[in-house]
Amino acid sequence: MRLDQQRLVITGAAGGIGRATARRAVAEGAQVLLTDREAEPLERVCVELGEAAQWLAGDLLEPAFCDSLAEQAASRLNGLDGVINNAGIITRGNVLATRDADWRASFAINVDAVFRICRSAIAWLTTQRQAGVIVNVASCWGLYPGPDHLAYCTTKAAVAAMTRCLGRDHAPDRIRVNAVAPNEVDTPMLRSGFEIRGLNVDTAVSELDASVPLGRIATPDDIADVIVFLCSDQSRYVCGSVIEVNGAKPVG
């Protein structure tokens, strides 16, 4: 198994990509601490995954929660080998439609929380383990902005840049920091966006499928498999990379 006995913490683990990643990681032998805002959906995932999975509810808007997450994970999992920073929010709007509150919340969850969790995890990993992995979930829209999502695209560009910086700075500590950059993935985040706009969700997803050269948008498992690869020794020479996972969808 590719993640045999790896102890990983996964944020946003009750959502589409997070849940798929938790399932894949446990199937590959990992012990996971799953975190998200609400306890109840996390409990359900843990019941499904059995004793390899534990949960911890918390709000990434709280700096103290982010700062303590690596320590809490290490204490619950009896050590820590890596972190998957998957949680995120998407806010729609061009600059004129972006309120201060949207901008602040987007940065707080998509960037500040990732920064704080990486900082505390790298402090723990360098002193206690002298190795480790971090996988951040960026977005193709952070590399090639999509329309009308200024705050989201800007935060995901920051995640990509942060990943490259951390990968470079901490390669000598044997901590590999990488990111995945998906394009559209069929998750609650994508579907709720269509609902908010009053669109027929299945029709909108079919239209998006047709825009992808591989013939469909991604499933959460398509992304989870790449995250698991980045946590595993199979990616031992991949460091500071942002891997586009987009079915060859053209940019722009």
Q: How far is the CB of 130 from ligand NAD (least distance, A)?
A: 29
136 neighbors 80 (Cβ within 8 angstroms):
no
- Binding to ligand NAD by residue 187, rule CB under 6 A? yes
What Cα–Cα distance (Å) separates residue 157 from each residue in 36, 51, 121, 196?
Answer: 23, 36, 21, 25
- Binding to ligand NAD by residue 188, rule CB under 6 A? yes
- The rounded distance, in Å, linking the Cα atoms of 96 and 71 is 41
Which stretch, 11-19, 94-102, 120-128, 233-241, contacts ligand NAD (CB under 6 A)?
11-19
- Binding to ligand NAD by residue 17, rule CB under 6 A? yes
Of 88, 152, 184, 220, which residue is the catalytic one?
152
Closest CA to 110 of 78, 86, 134: 86
113 neighbors 70 (Cβ within 8 angstroms):
no
Q: How far is the CB of 86 from ligand NAD (least distance, A)?
A: 5
- The rounded distance, in Å, linking the Cα atoms of 146 and 181 is 13
- Binding to ligand NAD by residue 59, rule CB under 6 A? yes
Convert 205-216 into a string of H (helix), E (strand) and C (coil). Answer: HHHHHHCCCCCC
Nearer to ligand NAD, 100 or 237 (CB): 100
Query: Could you list the active site residues?
Result: 152
Give the binding site for ligand NAD (CB under 6 A). Answer: 12, 14-18, 36-37, 59-61, 86-90, 109, 137, 139, 182, 184-185, 187-190
